[in-house]
């Protein structure tokens, strides 16, 4: 059974008011903004995998008729998309429950998913759950051997994973996976228990399932650009918007609707928005960094939220090589969303938004220097990650991506920590930090104050490098 807790809001509000409507860099595909919810669902690509229909046991797989039940917790666009993809996998599946802190989203989710799979949705009102504890009811509804798809803001991911594993439920968890070191440690502990209970856990780092990116990484690992000496990752685009507070919304509800704007919910721009390309760099390097230093701040941003509008972090690997990450969301600036990997023999350009990765014979780009480009079949990698997840459940093959997912999130968390504090911090110092962004989150009630409240003028406490303590 799949539980998709969709606290995720429907549209990430990129405010495109600058002159760069796409990113002026070779091979970079323009960012596409979300359309309305129903149109989004109608455009979801349905790609099914080839999954062997072998015999399964109820203990870890499905019901007696081999049906895997699905529930949605967090009914925004990504949660609904994951539900459609889950129901598109090989073998019988059924959506049986929805949950979201906003009850109206839980109510509408089943109808929207049913547009794609009318025969695979069975969610009566009694299995549509609102509130911050709705995830428990949805997970309970699918029961042991079911699947829960967790698509809530990252702050809630460790809490929800723990509960699902405790109840014997397989988990697909969207990125990002935690917002601070205590959350990462909870995630890792729950993932270890999942392995002990033979539960499958998949992490939403979908770029790892893109055929073109996998092929490019294989070429790099085979030595096509020589020894990898530096990794550069960028996410540079126009400013993130902020939805105005809705009539009747509490401060907590307002912040959850705008979770990308509040660090306690998403961990910061570098954690939630840059995780895919940070992960790809570490995949190419076959390592995670051992330390970092960096800088950032709010130079142009006037919105009343917690966001820095620029980040620059230098990570160091154990062999002395570096990963440099730039993040910026400011209007009317040069934009790029991708990765450049420099080796002793050449350069590779790839990444989450690079649809046509290339490898060059030197550090200079240009068609004359291209020595490799992907010529195979392009796939729907969101669908592929679900196909592999459900295949592992049906065939009882090993799949637990918790550790890799947690460590990739920790790269971003380390970056946030050094930017906010202005200090150089080691990986070991960061991952053992006991500082929580939202202490007591397990016990947060819908009518409580938000963990971070504005002052009387509506302004929030902004991190100050050289002053803010992160350890």
Residue 68's beta-bridge partner residues?
93
Distance of alpha carbon 177 from alpha carbon 152, whole angstroms:
10
CA-nearest of 212, 452, 426 to 338 is 212
Query: Taking the model in full, what pTM does it have?
Result: 0.87
Residue 355's pLDDT is 84
Residue 32's pLDDT is 37
Distance of alpha carbon 338 from alpha carbon 282, whole angstroms:
14
Q: Which residues of the chain have a pLDDT value below 50?
A: 1-62
Distance of alpha carbon 288 from alpha carbon 231, whole angstroms:
12
Distance of alpha carbon 471 from alpha carbon 459, whole angstroms:
25
Residues 34, 102 contacting (CB under 8 angstroms): no
Angle 420-421-427 from CA coordinates, rounded to 5°: 95
Residues composing the chain: 471
Sign of CA dihedral 174, 3, 110, 101: negative
Residue 64's pLDDT is 53
Distance of alpha carbon 437 from alpha carbon 130, whole angstroms:
24
Residue 12's pLDDT is 40
Residue 27's beta-bridge partner residues?
none
Q: How far is CA 49 from CA 89, 147, 297, 379, 381, in A?
A: 6, 18, 44, 11, 11
129-166 confidence digits (pLDDT tens): 999 999 999 999 999 999 999 999 999 999 999 999 99
Strands (E), 376-432: 425-426
Token code pair at residue 157:
């991911």
Residue 173's pLDDT is 98
Coil, helix or strand for 99?
Answer: strand
Whether residue 176 is preceded by a cis peptide bond, meaning omega within 30 degrees of 0, is: yes
229-274 confidence digits (pLDDT tens): 999 999 999 999 999 999 999 999 999 999 999 999 999 999 999 9
Instruction: Report all structural domains of the chain as residue ranges with CATH numbers, in order of start.
Output: 37-206+385-400 (3.40.50.720)
Residues 261, 307 contacting (CB under 8 angstroms): yes
Do β-strands 310-316 and 291-297 pair in parallel, antiparallel, or remain unpaired?
A: antiparallel
Sign of CA dihedral 465, 466, 469, 471: positive
Q: How far is CA 451 from CA 259, 336, 380, 438, 471, in A?
A: 13, 34, 38, 6, 19
177-219 confidence digits (pLDDT tens): 999 999 999 999 999 999 999 999 999 999 999 999 999 999 9
């Amino acid at each position: 059974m799949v539980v998709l807790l969709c606290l995720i809001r429907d549209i990430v509000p990129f405010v495109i008011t600058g002159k760069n409507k796409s990113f002026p860099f070779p091979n970079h595909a323009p960012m596409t903004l979300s359309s309305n919810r129903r149109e989004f669902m109608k455009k979801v690509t349905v790609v099914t995998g080839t999954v062997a229909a072998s015999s399964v046991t109820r203990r870890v797989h499905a019901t007696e008729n081999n049906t895997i039940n699905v529930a949605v917790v967090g009914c925004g666009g990504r949660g609904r998309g994951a539900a459609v993809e889950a129901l598109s996998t090989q073998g019988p599946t059924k959506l049986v429950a929805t949950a979201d802190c906003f009850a109206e989203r839980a109510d509408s989710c089943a109808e929207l998913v049913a547009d794609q799979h009318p025969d695979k949705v069975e969610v009566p009102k009694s299995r549509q759950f609102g509130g911050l504890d709705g995830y428990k009811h949805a997970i309970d509804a699918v029961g042991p051997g079911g699947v829960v798809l967790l698509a809530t803001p990252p702050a809630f991911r460790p809490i929800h994973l723990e509960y699902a594993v405790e109840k014997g439920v397989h988990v697909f968890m969207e990125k990002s996976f935690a917002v601070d070191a205590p959350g990462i440690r909870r995630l890792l502990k729950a993932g270890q228990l999942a392995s002990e209970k033979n539960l499958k856990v998949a992490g939403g780092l979908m770029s790892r399932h893109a055929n073109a990116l996998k092929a490019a990484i294989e070429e790099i690992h085979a030595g096509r650009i020589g020894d990898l000496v530096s990794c550069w990752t960028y996410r540079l685009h126009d400013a993130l918007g902020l939805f105005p507070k809705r009539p009747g919304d509490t401060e907590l509800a307002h912040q959850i609707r705008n979770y990308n704007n509040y660090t306690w919910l998403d961990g910061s721009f570098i954690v939630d928005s840059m995780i895919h390309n940070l992960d790809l760099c570490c995949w190419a390097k076959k390592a995670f960094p051992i330390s970092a230093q960096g800088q950032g701040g709010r130079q142009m941003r006037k919105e009343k939220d917690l966001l820095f509008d620029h980040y620059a972090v230098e990570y160091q690997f154990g062999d002395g090589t570096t990963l440099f990450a730039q993040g910026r969301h400011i209007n009317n600036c040069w934009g790029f969303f991708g990765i450049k990997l420099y080796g002793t023999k050449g350069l590779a350009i790839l990444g989450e938004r690079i649809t046509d990765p290339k490898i060059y014979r030197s550090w200079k780009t240009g068609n004359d220097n291209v020595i490799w480009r992907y010529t195979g079949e392009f796939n729907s990698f969101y669908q592929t990650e679900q196909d592999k997840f459900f295949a592992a459940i049906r065939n009882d093959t090993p799949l637990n991506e918790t550790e890799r997912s947690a460590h990739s999130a920790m790269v971003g968390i380390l970056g946030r920590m050094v930017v906010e504090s202005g200090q150089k911090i080691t990986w070991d110092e960061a991952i053992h930090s006991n500082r929580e962004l939202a202490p007591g989150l397990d016990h947060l009630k819908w009518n409580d104050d938000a963990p971070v409240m504005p002052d009387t003028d509506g302004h929030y406490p902004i991190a100050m490098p050289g002053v803010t303590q992160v350890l």
